[in-house]
Amino acid sequence: HPGGEEVLLEQAGQDCTESFEDVGHSSDARQMMEPYKIGELVE
């Protein structure tokens, strides 16, 4: 991860969607994450 492991460890075990979106990841980063998606949370 280009941002380092610390940012990943801080978000581990929780919904990090907002943090992911706030950083402004590229479409390549989004495609790389797709295989790890297990579902969507609904309120």
Q: What pLDDT, in 10s, does the model give residues 1-43? A: 888 899 889 999 898 889 888 988 899 999 998 998 888 878 8
User: Does 26 fall in a domain?
Assistant: yes
How confident is the model at residue 34, as a pLDDT? 92
User: Does 24 fall in a domain?
Assistant: yes
Cα–Cα dist 19/7, whole Å: 10
For residue 37, the Cα-to-chain-centroid distance in whole angstroms is: 10
How confident is the model at residue 40, as a pLDDT? 83
User: Does 2 fall in a domain?
Assistant: no
User: Does 42 fall in a domain?
Assistant: no
Domain total in the chain = 1
pTM > 0.85: no
How confident is the model at residue 1, as a pLDDT? 83
Quote the domain boundaries for residue 24.
Answer: 12-36
User: Does 5 fall in a domain?
Assistant: no
The gap between the terminal CA atoms of the chain, to the nearest Å, is 30
